[in-house]
Amino acid sequence: MTDKPWSGRFQEGVDKKVEAFTESVSIDHRLYRQDIEGSIAHARMLAAVGILTPKEAETIVQGLFSIRKDIDAGTFVFDPALEDVHMNIEVELTKRIGEAGKKLHTARSRNDQVSTDLRLYVRHVLTQILRLLRDFMKTIVDKASEQADTIIPGMTHLQFAQPVSFGHHLLAYFEMFLRDYQRIDDALERLNVSPLGSAALAGTPHPIDRFRTAKELGFASPCRNSMDGVSDRDFAIEAVFAVSLVMMHLSRLCEEIIIWNSQGYALVDLPDSYTTGSSIMPQKKNPDVAELVRGKTGRVYGNLVNLLTMMKGLPLTYNRDMQEDKLPVMDSLDTVSACVEVITGLIRGMVINRQAAERALKKGFLTATDIVDYLAEKGVPFRDAHRLTGEIVASRIHQGKTIDDMTLLEFKAFSDKFGDDIFAYIHPSSAVDRRRSFGGTSRENVKAAIKEAYALLEDVGYEKV
């Protein structure tokens, strides 16, 4: 039986079922680099304040380096009987270097240790996600630039509504993911305080220097309250919330890709390398990547609810419930990282079918609103112009015809305000380019927005941590 580091108070060993039920090392072993990084900073600080000798601290640091090397190489065996990554590393350290290893835990607890490790881990992965998001946003802007002059039907209620630049449509997603980037960047600022030295909950009587360890670990400062330091998981919940919004935006984009790719629309063709086939139907080319991203969104939402529910009734300070925080956090960050990366490749290889777009523009009376605007410019009150245009649409539907094949005589049958200029006015490209209001879809606007988007990407290209 493995002796527990806390076994002094107990008269009998832990039941094997309880041992298996309470272990977390099967999940938190992923924190080993952060745990070792925090322990090195702690050891150096203990030496600086005289709790350890310089030789003891150096022995500890070298022992931790050797453990990290073995874990990196895959030769280290984690023991579930030692519960978690922290005790596995500490026990192994003592085996390797002797008495000095037993002094490392002075002035800290697993409570502040795990909070520090998880903050370091979330900070590291969120920073990686920012890099992935920036690459993805650039891919969106590149594709928008490619398709600024392509006109497609814009939709409301999944019904054709008005013509828009396809570049404008794509830039709407750039705006969403830019907010996501800024939200994560903002969350990183709140996350970036160090709980290390809060100990179990009340701080420590030892003369430690929490500012030193915070600085060495790249934190802006130590947390101000030891009880909050060990019990706060807002940073983890906020991280999962932020990536839940990323997943929501990815899911919306994927839904549109699936619709555009469907044979009823055929507006885009997806790269073979990002699609799959059918085991029975040889003709199929399925948008499985987009569908899986859409499906995985619910999984990340579930993780967010899991964390919120876990924390909602916990009194201060640490409670063992909080051991359940790591799996939903890690799963969410893993999932969003994979989804952003794979959709970046899908968008990069997506080809626009311009012929299909041109055919689609002839359906759905897309420029009906432009007829209203035309009449309004000729002095017809807007509501009267709207009613007249509705009558035109109803008439064409009844005849099985479109607006595009109307003659001037047919237009004049509804209003003598119509002139020869109506035909140019209701051409889709003209309809798009007249929408020059700030944020509108005119191709002039879109090209300016693309230029601005590239400039914004330069601004978000820095790394804080």
Domain 362-459, what fold? Ribonucleotide Reductase Protein R1; domain 1 (1.10.40)
Contact 418, 411 (CB under 8 A): yes
Structure tokens at 388: 């007249």
pLDDT for 179: 98
What top-level class would CATH report for the domain 15-106? mainly alpha
Structure tokens at 94: 């003592």
pLDDT for 336: 98
Helix axes 326-349, 234-261, angle to 10 degrees: 30
Among 368, 395, 386, 437, CA closest to 153: 368
Catalytic: 168? no
Catalytic: 206? no
Contact 349, 266 (CB under 8 A): no
Among 396, 400, 435, 357, CA closest to 160: 357
Among 260, 115, 275, CA closest to 197: 115
pLDDT for 5: 66
Nearest 10 degrees: CA dihedral of 68, 71, 76, 78? 100
Region of residue 218 (phi > 0: left; psi between -120 and 50: alpha; otherwise: beta): left
Contact 304, 241 (CB under 8 A): yes
Among 129, 135, 188, 134, CA closest to 465: 188
Compute mean pLDDT per 10 residues along the chain, 465 residues long, and list them: 61 80 94 98 98 98 98 97 96 97 97 98 98 98 97 95 97 98 97 98 98 98 98 98 98 97 94 93 93 98 98 96 96 98 98 94 94 96 97 96 94 96 96 97 98 93 47
* H or E element at residue 153: strand 151-156
Q: CA angle 63-69-71, nearest 5°?
A: 105
pTM for the whole thing?
0.93
- Per DSSP, the chain holds a count of helices (H) and strands (E) of 20, 6
pLDDT for 3: 63
Contact 377, 422 (CB under 8 A): no
pLDDT for 8: 61
Give the active site residue among 26, 221, 262, 278.
278
Among 115, 33, 26, 127, CA closest to 77: 26
pLDDT for 79: 96
Give the active site residue among 157, 273, 398, 437.
157
CATH code for the part of the protein at 111-145+159-196+224-359: 1.20.200.10
- Backbone φ and ψ of 224, nearest 5°: -80, -20
Spatial neighbors of 224 by CB under 8 A, at least 6 apart, are: none
Spatial neighbors of 166 by CB under 8 A, at least 6 apart, are: 144, 147, 148, 150, 151, 152, 352, 357
Fold equal for 15-106 and 362-459: no
The SS3 of residue 208 is: coil
Rounded to a whole number of angstroms, the distance between the first and last alpha carbons of the chain is 43
Structure tokens at 167: 């570049």
Structure tokens at 212: 């030193």
Domain range annotation of the chain: 15-106, 111-145+159-196+224-359, 362-459
Bridge partner residues of 165 (DSSP): 151
Spatial neighbors of 160 by CB under 8 A, at least 6 apart, are: 153, 154, 360, 363, 364, 365, 366
pLDDT for 461: 63
